Structure 1
Amino acid sequence: MIDLYTWVTPNGYKVHILLEELGLDYTAHAVNIQQGEQFEPDFLRISPNNRIPAIVDHDGPDGQPLSVFESGAIMLYLAEKTGCFLPAEPRARVAMQEWLMFQMGNVGPMFGQVGHFTQYAPRRIDYAVDRYTREMGRLLGVMDRRLGETDYLAGDYGLADMATFPWVRSARRFGADLCDYPNLNRWYQAIRARPAVDRGLAVLAEYKNATPLSDQAKEQLFGDTQYQRR
């Protein structure tokens, strides 16, 4: 059994989707980051960086519980545990790791900045909006070019695709038009049609909220609370 501590964000969805693809037995626990639950001591014990998602695998490598934080580390751990979605062949394995790190180091951070400066910043900063929006477009172009050569980011469907899909999904909300990236759009539609992806996106669906963030929520996410030493 795996306890999953998560929220309805792209990084949360990455792990939801992988767990559904693997068919593992898990229980999802909502960590409401808009209400500051990520700062509670019990959560910090398993995720010291106060970020979701995190897991506790009650059947760890030595038969004892093991906690894992950081979405990429969780995905690699689960792939190693099950022998799925991370190829054994060295060249294919490196390709999957490359494109997973591409998401972790580029797509997530840059797309996240687009979302922040276009939707949540207290005032518009044209330089920041332009810089990060253009970088998002560049990264979408990198993926579109790659997906003109292969069906999925690393060749076969795997961790890199599950990690990247929720962020490309968010890019549409941030103003990107996937019709401008036909290879990426083909990839996006293929992944969206997978039943496990549909189930992963439905995890904690009752917490999805399309209304603007309250001032209290913005304080928990972006204000002084975020920077307190704990």
Structure 2
Amino acid sequence: MKFGVVVFPGSNCDQDLVDAISVGMGQECIKLWHKDHDLQGCDFILLPGGFSYGDYLRSGAISRFSPIMQEVVQHANKGGYVMGICNGFQILTEAGLLPGALLRNANQKFICDNVYIKPATTNLLPTRLLDMDKAYKIPVAHGEGRYHADKETLKRLEDNEQIMFKYSSNVADTHEIYNINGSLLNIAGVSNEQKNVFGMMPHPERAVDPELGNTDGRAIFESILNLVNA
């Protein structure tokens, strides 16, 4: 399994992802420049967090037109795996690879904190090995993470088990905030209908190395690797 991390102008979590995949998970991982037209044989494409093109229009709205996104869209349409984290999630919604949109946080503030999420299903690649009763502590850092979609789309997401994660309380702390940004249905991540494209706002790559004091993110990558490499 060869992973590729797309780097856009303004990406600032690309190296975090490369380190998490290559050092933390022991997998081959390379960087792909946004002007490239070649995915270099990568099987799994990752779009990292950051502020691509400065987020001067809408988050992800300009990156959606980067040359490499033509290749990413084709890769996804052929059934290839793609996952966007934070700004990467925003890019995937702008590109039409994922349903819905990410709006300004309900409190109109940038949120940088550890939050808790729970898998909403175990029928998606990143969640298949996860415990649906466990609250996973994963960092967030975003100003536009409020998931929004119309009622029909939300119903399809629920009926088709496309909701990947929901914001949750820490089961050990009843005072933990359940919904940190106002997302509808507490949604923290979704998949496409074909279930090969995934997006999530929290940063699992920041919870892989034990030196960071939290390894809950490893379970998400382990779930991907266990089933993809099987």
Fold conserved between structures, TM > 0.5: no
The structure carrying a bigger strand percent of its residues is 2
Which structure would you say has the larger Rg? 1
TM-score normalised per structure 2: 0.28
- Could you state the TM-score of these two structures normalised by the residue count of structure 1? 0.28
Structure 1 or 2: larger helix share? 1
